[in-house]
Structure 1
Amino acid sequence: MQIRGALTALVTPFKNGQVDEEAYRRLIEWQIEQGINGLVPCGTTGESATLSHEEHRNVISICVDQVKGRVPVIAGAGSNNTKEAIELTRHAKETGADAALLITPYYNKPTQEGLVAHFKAIAAEVSMPFIVYNVPGRTSVNLLPKTVARMFREIPEVKGIKEATGDLKQVSEVMEFCGPEFILLSGDDFTVLPLLAVGGVGVISVVSNICPSQMARMCTAFQSCDFGEARKLHYFLNPLNRAMFIETNPVPAKTALTKMGKINFEVRLPMVPLSPEHERELDAALKNAGLV
């Protein structure tokens, strides 16, 4: 299944400390109705760091079951423990996900050689499409463009990357070194439009939790060479992008979805609710965008 356009890094709704399956299924259905191009369960936005392994597997299974093949599902399956990443990736494949999103190991701070070895070890055990996730702001390690190109050459499972550096020089080099067959996805909502201009094909987005239609339309407009419409949607989304990161993701996204009547607000420690000041700023952004 083709991976391109706007893919939402889904929040995971909770209720009384448990995964709220009913709300999660409703959210997935709404996303598809709004024209989203793909869904990503159990990423950072899905609070994967505080899900048990059983919950993690369940959330991916629910998503695949609810989607029923209508759009691609890229299952979050990464870990800083290579053995654990293999197990999560194996489950993603068995569940029927279209690809696995595999973050570079965090906290361990591996070398570039260590990063290559990590992904080779996963591929040796589980063969399915991999989207590598590079987010140095959370992992403390940057997967460099030449390393990405090496992985693309040496690991057939590596099909693309979610690039969340926000560095257009770096993403340009990724495309330069990897070529047009490589799937470059933005992991930074602020730079989706310029990333598309250098050869990207879409985004794994936080803001599309609350406005899937607009993000999908921006990607479609660019791909259709309607650059005026793409630029218009880019500037419509910008205030919402700022609001989604006014505090640590996914707290603003979950707060916004609660105000929109999509979920009940609940996060797991160490996440806490928005400060009153930031909640007022979020309210203003949602009202100005016509979302509440």
Structure 2
Amino acid sequence: MTFVPKGIIPPIITPLTDEGEVNYPVLRQMVNHLIDNGVHGLFPLGTTGEFYAFDDDTYRKILETVVDETAGRVPVYGGASHITTRGVIRLVKICEEVGVDAVSVLTPMFVSQTQDELYNYYKTIAENTTLPIIMYNNKPKTNVTITPATVAKLADIENIVAVKDSTGDMTNAAEYIRLTRGKDFSVLMGRDTLIYAALCYGATGAIASCANVAPRIAADIYDKYVAGDLEGALEAQFTLAPFRIACGMGTFPAAIKEGLVQEGIPVGKCLDPIGELTPEEKEKLHKVLADMNLV
């Protein structure tokens, strides 16, 4: 398996109309907005893309739209997350048919698995596809974690190529990197305030929700780091941090969508029951974006 996930990969939001339907023209606009601003991949139907909200037909059409508009300019990572193993495999088959480059698979939600169950979950999914698989640990949302020891064991499976760490625990991410050294395996940061730190440890990039709103700033963290401009990379990280912290307002990903609306991209609201930011929160967010020269 030669696929290496790297760079800044936005988990692209799913634009919605006022009626709560997917706004495909704006989705195409988002694809071009992000690629034009230097991102290194696109990840539809992640947590930021409200993956849990769509039936299989809509799921397929979202993927088809992103793949079509991307037209091979950057890799497309399809989110394939479900509470059951067979549910994930069903989504992975759709990803294969659409032609994505890799899939991201979250730990099952609600069910509290053992590490042995998680190992078998990912192993079974890997046996049912030839696509590269990125494991996704978002313990703050799922209350389930993939331990470093389990990740190191799963890294020996050929088409399990990476893990995304959204725990916010730098020690956990560092252990992922330490225990998989020498393997054909990558670690991606999933906490936008820690991208620079993760690159210093040896991560190959980040799946960064804030890159929806600040793609060039986020891409600068990676591009400048790779170019050896560590001071510039760190400055870009510090520039991005206030927006990521502001995303604690409201219910995720409401602040991401509001940021895009304030930038003039009509992505709409999140699906109910997620509400909009309050007027006071919108004002605070506007100040953060203004300080970043984004509005």
Q: Is the 8 A contact 2:250 2:276 kept in 1?
A: no
Q: Which residue of 1 aligns with 2:212?
A: 209
Between 243-252 and 42-51, the greater mean CA deviation after superposition: 243-252
Q: Which residue of 1 aligns with 2:101?
A: 98
Give the secondary-structure state (helix, strand or coil) at the position aligned to 1:41.
coil
Between 58-67 and 264-273, the greater mean CA deviation after superposition: 264-273
Output the CA distance in 1 between the equivalents of 2:41 and 2:178.
26
Between 173-182 and 197-206, the greater mean CA deviation after superposition: 173-182
Say whether 1:12 aligns with 2:14: yes
Give the secondary-structure state (helix, strand or coil) at the position aligned to 1:100.
strand
Output the CA distance in 2 between the equivalents of 1:70 and 1:83.
31
Partner AA of 2:193 in structure 1? F
TM-score after normalising by structure 2: 0.96
Q: Is the 8 A contact 1:2 1:72 kept in 2?
A: no
1:245 offset after TM fit, Å?
A: 2.8
In the TM superposition, what whole-angstrom CA distance separates every residue of 1:240-282 from its partner, at most 9, and x where no partner exists? 1112232222100101111111124222112111122211110
Say whether 1:268 aligns with 2:280: no
Give the secondary-structure state (helix, strand or coil) at the position aligned to 1:267.
coil
Q: Which residue of 1 aligns with 2:193?
A: 190
In the TM superposition, what whole-angstrom CA distance separates every residue of 1:117-173 from its partner, at most 9, and x where no partner exists? 1111112221210000001111111100000000011x2111001101111111111
Partner AA of 2:39 in structure 1? I
Say whether 1:286 aligns with 2:289: yes
1:219 offset after TM fit, Å?
A: 0.5
Q: Which residue of 2 aligns with 1:249?
A: 252
Partner AA of 1:7 in structure 2? I
Q: Which residue of 2 aligns with 1:54?
A: 57
User: Measured at CA, do residues 264 and 8 of structure 1 come closer, stay the same or move farther in structure 2, by a change above 3 Å?
Assistant: closer
Partner AA of 1:289 in structure 2? M
Q: Which residue of 2 aligns with 1:40?
A: 43
Partner AA of 1:165 in structure 2? T
1:2 offset after TM fit, Å?
A: 4.3
Q: Is the 8 A contact 1:246 1:252 kept in 2?
A: yes
TM-score after normalising by structure 1: 0.97
Say whether 1:232 aligns with 2:230: no
Q: Is the 8 A contact 1:206 1:244 kept in 2?
A: no
Runs of at least 5 residues in structure 1 that lack an aligned partner in the other structure? none
Output the CA distance in 2 between the equivalents of 1:264 and 1:40.
16
In the TM superposition, what whole-angstrom CA distance separates every residue of 1:205-234 from its partner, at most 9, and x where no partner exists? 111001111111111111122111011111
Runs of at least 5 residues in structure 2 that lack an aligned partner in the other structure? none
In the TM superposition, what whole-angstrom CA distance separates every residue of 1:64-86 from its partner, at most 9, and x where no partner exists? 11111110111001111111100
1:90-239 aligned at under 5 Å gives the runs: 90-153=93-156, 155-180=157-182, 181-239=184-242
Q: Is the 8 A contact 2:5 2:162 kept in 1?
A: no
Partner AA of 2:13 in structure 1? V
User: Measured at CA, do residues 2 and 176 of structure 1 come closer, stay the same or move farther in structure 2, by a change above 3 Å?
Assistant: closer
Q: Is the 8 A contact 1:151 1:158 kept in 2?
A: yes
**Matched positions, count:** 291
Output the CA distance in 1 between the equivalents of 2:251 and 2:188.
21
Give the secondary-structure state (helix, strand or coil) at the position aligned to 1:222.
helix
Output the CA distance in 2 between the equivalents of 1:50 and 1:10.
15
Moved >4 Å (runs of 4+): none
In the TM superposition, what whole-angstrom CA distance separates every residue of 1:83-106 from its partner, at most 9, and x where no partner exists? 110010111122111100000111
